[in-house]
Structure 1
Amino acid sequence: MARPRQALLTRQRIVDAAAELVDEEGLEALSVRRLATELGVQGPSLYNHFATKADIVDAVADSVIEQVDVSAFGAFPWPEALRRWALSYHAVLVAHPNVVPVLAQGPGRRPFALAMADTVYGALIDAGFSPARATHIGALMRYLVTGSALGSFALGFHIDPSLYERYPHLHRAHRLAAHHVAVDEGAFALGLDLLINGLEVGTHR
């Protein structure tokens, strides 16, 4: 029997193609028609695997969360585990910035996102935090990580030095864009340090 001329259409092929499209062109570029064209199939065939475009977007978002390393929980004391998880979470989101607006809305019904939330929450409970405080910490970590990945603080400043002549404390702001990686990563590292150090102090009161 002759082999099929193209690989069989699977959920994973669809998710991989959709993720590549979103990474390269943004969420607005993703449509069932465009995705079908990229895969070399007819649009309706995608509905054999996903009921709606929103389901495809959810699957792409969850494939990003799947890349976050949660293995530190249970292997290290909670402050170090929280730090390692946050750094991995941040790195993954920075690598896939176009998906961040979806992830910022919360886990929804996405299996890997829910599993990550369950792991983090469970580790915080095991560390002795109350359910309410563990919830607050989980929310705070998500605000820090997703907020830092939503956009660059440094790139928000224009490179024209004349723009800041009226603002005596911003006379070097035009240089921020050229150093945006160092500025943005430094800000995230500072925020993470302050957050975890503050939580450690709070647990000893």
Structure 2
Amino acid sequence: MARPRKPLLSRERIVTAALALVDAEGLDAVSTRRLAAELGVSGPSLYNHFRNKDEILDAVADSVSAQIDLSMFDEADGRDWRTALHDWAVSYRAALADHPHIVPVLARGPGRRPAGLRVADAVFGAMVRAGWPPAHATHIGALMRYFITGSALGSFARGFVDDETAYDPADYPHLGQAHLLAEHQKQVDEGAFETGLRALLDGLAVRYESVSRGHASAAAEQ
């Protein structure tokens, strides 16, 4: 029997093609018709694997979640909770920076996506093991997702035009160098992320000490 000229259609092929399309042209470029054309198949054949476009985008988002490093949350890894959160956040942001157009889908939360749920489970479990009460661990997971996805939704530096005449000092006396920000976009945005992340972790460390003292006092009273 002769081999088929094209590889058989699979969920993996569809997700790979959809992610490439999202990366190149954004979410609005994805449609079952466009994907079918990209894959060289008939449109209805996609429905053997996904019910609709939303399911495809969910799978694309989950494929990006699967790129996030979770090894720092392994019990045998040895990193303390603060270092683990920092290193995970850097990995998380890197994955989103590689695929910024899918961030709005990821920002909706993991839903039923397996890789996204593994991320949430790993963070929550590691925080509880470190001594955070479950409610606090939930808040930390939410806080970190808000911060990381928010940082990936847009570039502060690219929010300013590179025209030095755009910001009249009579109107904006402190924006004389703002036209230079776009030129240094990576440095500015990464620096802002790291500054915010360290400030966030500093605050959590203070809160952790308070929680730990509360546990110690409660234990002493028993």
Instruction: Please tell me the TM-score bracket, short chain as reference.
Output: over 0.9
Write the mapping of 1:7-86 to structure 2, written as runs, cut at 5 A.
7-73=7-73, 74=75, 75=77, 76-86=79-89
Write the mapping of 1:93-172 to structure 2, written as runs, cut at 5 A.
93-165=96-168, 166-172=171-177
Deviations 1:94-115 (A, max 9, x none): 0000100111111111111011
| 1:182 CA displacement | 0.5
| Alignment counterpart, residue 190 of structure 2, candidates 177, 180, 185 | 185
**TM-score computed with the length of structure 2 as normaliser:** 0.90
| 1:129 CA displacement | 0.9
- Among the aligned pairs, what percent are the same residue? 61
Tell me how large the CA RMSD over aligned residues is.
0.9
Partner of residue 173, structure 1 = 178
For 2:42 and 2:96, the matched residues in 1 are separated by 31
Unpaired runs of at least 5, structure 2: 211-222
The residue type paired with residue 119 of structure 2 is: M
For 1:34 and 1:201, the matched residues in 2 are separated by 51
Deviations 1:39-73 (A, max 9, x none): 00000000000011100000000000000001001
**TM-score computed with the length of structure 1 as normaliser:** 0.97
Deviations 1:59-89 (A, max 9, x none): 0000000000010013111111111110000
Unpaired runs of at least 5, structure 1: none
Q: Aligned residue pairs: how many?
A: 205
Question: Once superposed, which parts of structure 1, at least 4 consecutive aligned residues long, lie more than 4 Å away?
Answer: none
Q: Which protein is bigger by CA-based radius of gyration?
A: 2
